[in-house]
Structure 1
Amino acid sequence: MAGRQAVKAYLDLVSQACRAVLIFLKDNKIPHTVENIAIRKGQQKTPEFTKLNPMQKLPVLEDNGFVLTESDAILKYLATAYNVPDHWYPKLPEKRARVDEYTAWNHANTRTHISTLFLHEVLLPRMGHPTNPEMLEKALSDLDGTLDKLENMFLKRQAFLCGEDISLADLLAACELMQPLCGGRDILENRPKLLSWRSRVQSVLSDSFDEAHAVVYRLRDNLNADKPYRYSKQSAL
């Protein structure tokens, strides 16, 4: 990496995908700078940012003039372009295909159902719209089916989603499943198998995981200031 400038990551850490990118950069000690883009302020829609990413979405990575969007593509690019441990995105075709299998499934399943729950339980109420109990119940039911598949199809009896070592699949999934904490809900509280998996992910990533999720913990704590926490770092480890 000699002679390369630090990569620049455009992030908003309320976004689960942005947190995954930051954790990967930190954990693998890839030289980087962070440009904070506040989605709540519409900063992703400014003319300057739109030139960078016409889709007006985060995260975005800039590496020596090369601009890349989409967290899945960004993580795989970083894993390939930088000297990171092979377990993240293995070179062996069969092992790499398992990671690709999850990341392809993630968008229409974990990401979609988590985002829908976040919309109904956090975003709409903060915009002054009352929670629709039926829509919330459907979002929880759809997510429950996804959690079943995470347990039974991907995790099975192994330590991580794609084998015995952590991979990009675990990073993306863990960041997604932390998102409901913004609304005070720990969706894994009654799923000991997934709780143990999340604890393993958090233990491997250590400080980088908690630093990236500081905004999630803060939103949770502000919401639950007058009642017992549903989740704590200590209870997860």
Structure 2
Amino acid sequence: MATGRLVEVYLDLLSQPCRAVHILLTCTKIPFEWTLVLASLVCAGEHRTLDFTKLNPMQKVPVMVDDGFVLTESDAILKYLATKYDVPEHWYPRQPERRARVDEYTAWHHTNTRPHAAKVFILEVLLPAQSGSLVDEARLNRALSDLDDTLDKLESMFLRRQPFLCGDDITVADLLAACELTQPLGGGRDVLKERPQLQRWRSRVQSAVGEAFDKAHVSINLSMNRCWSSIFEMKIKKSYLYFVP
């Protein structure tokens, strides 16, 4: 059921789950407006304000407000939007077995694809940017090994011989996974480089959502520019405090 209202979302497009929400809203043409809330590891702050904490006491993005109804957690937001609004059923199928396949992946996602892909990006990009130190190669190699195990399972358990993670059509599960596995590209690392099956899946996801995928990822620049400004200001303040007699 669509309405004339705008769905409000609070997003940091450096966040993979936030991009998944942005893509679904864009490609399904649900009317929405979004507010940038910097909440990443290296530029934390805006998600800790009093006003934002009133919306989400957990101080995390994404947050959705739909006619006064406040919802947190990307998985819940994606499924809510796909259930409430007039969007193609394939996003979150009504048929119990097909819906259960989506729920199966999204439950697995939060302890596998999400932390393992995110850790590679954190170790290779965010922590060095924050601290000014070199990449910890030992920790990075362990993270890459964990991610390889996850990618093996994505291929053997979820994709198998089907085009998308949960069947013949794209679902919210594919959005969550694709955004996570795109994240390491921010450090110049394509984690699917040696995995043609997953490369073909990623291409199908991007083709299915069209320019919505590019919009969400191009919009990272807005978050990145503000993020690096925050890092620079933070380092200047630290240097100033260090040299004050």
TM-score of the aligned structures, taking structure 1 as reference length: 0.89
- Name the counterpart of 2:195: 191
- Name the counterpart of 1:121: 124
- Output one character per residue of 1:125-145: Cα deviation in whole Å (capped at 9) or x when no partner: 101132111100000000000
1:25 and 2:14 matched: no
- Name the counterpart of 1:207: 211
1:100 and 2:107 matched: no
**Distance in 1 of aligned mates of 2:124 and 2:84:** 38
CA contact (8 A) 2:2 2:85 kept: no
**Distance in 1 of aligned mates of 2:221 and 2:48:** 27
Structure 2: unaligned runs, 5 residues or longer: 225-245
**Distance in 1 of aligned mates of 2:74 and 2:112:** 16
Distance 1:211 1:2, change over 3 A: closer
Aligned to 2:65, the other structure's residue is in SS state: strand
- Name the counterpart of 1:15: 15
- Output one character per residue of 1:8-53: Cα deviation in whole Å (capped at 9) or x when no partner: 0100101000000000001110010011111225100111101110
CA contact (8 A) 1:90 1:96 kept: yes
CA contact (8 A) 1:19 1:213 kept: yes
| Structure 1 residue 105, shift from structure 2 partner | 0.1
Letter aligned with residue 22 of structure 1: H
Structure 1: unaligned runs, 5 residues or longer: 220-237
1:172 and 2:199 matched: no
Q: Pairwise CA RMSD of aligned residues? A: 1.4
- Name the counterpart of 1:234: none
**Distance in 2 of aligned mates of 1:146 and 1:201:** 19
Q: What does 1:1-237 align with in structure 2 at a 5 Å threshold?
A: 1=1, 3-39=3-39, 40-127=43-130, 128-215=132-219
Letter aligned with residue 63 of structure 1: D
Between the aligned residues of both structures, percent identity stands at 61
CA contact (8 A) 1:181 1:217 kept: no
**Distance in 1 of aligned mates of 2:28 and 2:209:** 10
Of 97-106 and 39-48, more deviation after overlay is shown by 39-48
Structure 1 runs of 4+ off > 2 angstroms?
Answer: 1-4, 215-219
- Number of matched residues? 219
Aligned to 1:166, the other structure's residue is in SS state: coil
TM-score of the aligned structures, taking structure 2 as reference length: 0.86
Aligned to 1:171, the other structure's residue is in SS state: helix
Letter aligned with residue 90 of structure 1: P
**Distance in 2 of aligned mates of 1:3 and 1:179:** 33
Letter aligned with residue 212 of structure 2: S
CA contact (8 A) 1:182 1:216 kept: no
**Distance in 2 of aligned mates of 1:45 and 1:21:** 21
Distance 1:157 1:104, change over 3 A: same
